[in-house]
A = this chain, B = another copy of it.
């Protein structure tokens, strides 16, 4: 799994957990709207400083955004 994909996944997950839209997140992090969209679609390899500012808005550590998701336990059993 590519590092961009990991970031994209975590970004999307944490963002939704906070109930934020891409626009809201972009605004609060002082980053362009369309760039967030690009990151979640793995268009760019973000710089660590934007990872850091995104992490701050999302209330997590920068390193958390680069952690590969858990192997087994993703799906919620209905």
A7 within 8 A of B: yes
A20 within 8 A of B: no
A6 to B51, CA, bound (A): 13
A62 within 8 A of B: yes
Identify A47's interface contact among B48, B52, B61, B68, CB under 8 A. Answer: B48
A67 within 8 A of B: yes
A49 within 8 A of B: yes
- Spell out A's residues near B (CB within 8 Å): 3-4, 6-7, 45-49, 51-52, 61-68
- List 24 contacting pairs A-B, 8 Å CB cutoff, sorted by A: A3-B48, A3-B49, A3-B52, A3-B62, A4-B48, A4-B49, A6-B62, A7-B48, A45-B47, A45-B48, A46-B47, A46-B48, A47-B47, A47-B48, A48-B48, A48-B51, A61-B67, A62-B66, A63-B63, A63-B64, A63-B65, A63-B66, A63-B68, A66-B66
